[in-house]
Structure 1
């Protein structure tokens, strides 16, 4: 039964992650471009003289950041619709095993920690989320590095861009195996976002369960659909809080994954970005991240909970 339960969490996590990734891919591309140090050069297609002049200005001020809609329009006009789905291949390859590993590890760690600590306490949720986040980041970082490289690769409309395999081969030839783990330290720092997310989510979920008997659901919704939308709301709220608090690690991770990057370590990148572009640069792309991540987290968590509930009720 324990093995069957682990397989169930693997399946539920994989399905939830895949559903969210497919629906929010264009915003993922925009967010990555906004986080990059190259965003003012590639999307706006500046001339060499303009780029030279801007490079001098960047040393003393925060670079201008195009808005989400402006960048979406720019990518569509200059690179075509397909560029909004750059990196979808690695995303689809990686999101199912990534979410499956995450949820299976989280569920397994929580089950074991409940035996030695106060069951379902915040400490259990935090340690389980940390364990799951570190495991997932270590095993899947090569996939996300390839995805980031593909999303940062601007191309002229109609021009063939490298696919995931070509990108992976290029990384291996130029940087070796270590190249696939660039940005992993930022991913470890990003575990704080996961911890905050799950602590708030589990707390809201417990409140939903306790209030379900005292607050009757709307007449138009069945109890199951009421639970489903409640979980989506809990996931959205918890992810919003976590993303706003821990967002800078996303910018640092993208910078570390840039090809030929002068960014070498987490602390060095943090200091360099703040020194050259100001503290606000650590929040570039936050709007696109929230627009993408909130529905993505809601879809993923609700799908996960629904599959677990349906499968558990039939076993």
Structure 2
């Protein structure tokens, strides 16, 4: 008697998983990865805000100087504020999965890459609407240098030049006092709208970046699956495709990301910031902070998909387990 060959499922959809496992594990994975990679966010933000190379010459130089003059905790300035991103992150992944599922059930767009592109863009709009205020507060926290020992005066002045809010030294040393002070300063300067400074620029960065990331991830995964031998685990191919997708999307959207960071921290308009960046950087805007962003994007893409794809497999309903290859 012939056995029927089981058709392999390459993309695990929402309806194939036990949601009681999937969503809690996704939140736990996101928190862990955010903690591991947060220092790259601090370094990237400082590289983007500085003028030219006045303080840091690159990613490694920034790492050395921050740990030397501010201690290892300097790499985690504003981390606890950034953990509020867990709510937007949950909304993001929930929206992504539901939009993909909706498109399968209610549209004729059967291509997985188109579903990924659309769902990634929509999910980013939802996520950014919730996360922009957190971004603004955490970015100001990242720029609050805290002295360890007695750094040279010139170094101290350069670090302070990054700061756009006046927060007294004694307040910075308090874990939550600095957060409260930053929130009060932003509200005093710009009111509630200050927490949404650069919102549309953020959408212009993250919506295309998210859409492109998922599009290229699906594309690279499909290409690799088509040419790789069967003995190579499917997860290994996906973990190679994820960093490639991160590099591609980061290269395309980096200039807009620099513009976004400047607008949110310096509280200027798009036109003013664009003119200032052009005067200061010229074509270097294409690569400003790019090394830190690439490192962060590659590492984040690898680990987030390691968690994401593994969790999807662990959450599979019994009826689909035989159709999914690890």
TM-score (norm 2): 0.77
Aligned length: 280
> Residues 197 and 267 of structure 2 are in contact (CA less than 8 Å); yes or no, is this contact kept in structure 1?
no
Displacement after TM superposition at 1:84 (Å) = 0.9
Matched, 1:271 2:262: no
Q: Tell me the secondary structure at the aligned position of residue 131 of structure 1.
A: helix
Alignment deviations for residues 179-228 of structure 1 (CA, whole Å, 9 cap, x no partner) = 1111212211111111111101112233455557x4313xxxxxxxx333
Displacement after TM superposition at 1:168 (Å) = 2.1
Q: Give the Cα–Cα distance (whole angstroms) in 1 for the partners of residues 50 and 287 of structure 2.
A: 13
Matched, 1:204 2:220: yes
Tell me the equivalent position of 1:59: none
Tell me the equivalent position of 1:288: 292
Name whichever of 137-146 and 153-162 sits farther off.
Answer: 153-162
TM-aligned CA distance change 1:256 to 1:28, over 3 Å: same
TM-aligned CA distance change 1:72 to 1:9, over 3 Å: same
> Residues 19 and 300 of structure 1 are in contact (CA less than 8 Å); yes or no, is this contact kept in structure 2?
no
- 1:91 corresponds, among 77, 82, 94, to 82
Q: Tell me the secondary structure at the aligned position of residue 163 of structure 1.
A: helix
The CA RMSD measured in Å over matched residues stands at 2.6
TM-aligned CA distance change 1:274 to 1:5, over 3 Å: farther
> Residues 37 and 300 of structure 2 are in contact (CA less than 8 Å); yes or no, is this contact kept in structure 1?
yes
> Residues 9 and 104 of structure 1 are in contact (CA less than 8 Å); yes or no, is this contact kept in structure 2?
no
Q: Give the Cα–Cα distance (whole angstroms) in 2 for the partners of residues 292 and 118 of structure 1.
A: 33
User: 5 Å matches for 1:96-135?
Assistant: 96-114=86-104, 115-135=106-126
Tell me the equivalent position of 1:36: 49
Displacement after TM superposition at 1:314 (Å) = 5.5
Structure 1 residue ranges without an equivalent (≥5): 45-64, 218-225
Q: Tell me the secondary structure at the aligned position of residue 118 of structure 1.
A: coil
Displacement after TM superposition at 1:93 (Å) = 2.5
TM-aligned CA distance change 1:6 to 1:117, over 3 Å: farther
Q: Give the Cα–Cα distance (whole angstroms) in 2 for the partners of residues 189 and 100 of structure 1.
A: 21
Matched, 1:298 2:302: yes
Q: Tell me the secondary structure at the aligned position of residue 268 of structure 2.
A: coil
TM-aligned CA distance change 1:270 to 1:9, over 3 Å: farther
Q: Give the Cα–Cα distance (whole angstroms) in 2 for the partners of residues 5 and 271 of structure 1.
A: 51
Displacement after TM superposition at 1:263 (Å) = 2.2
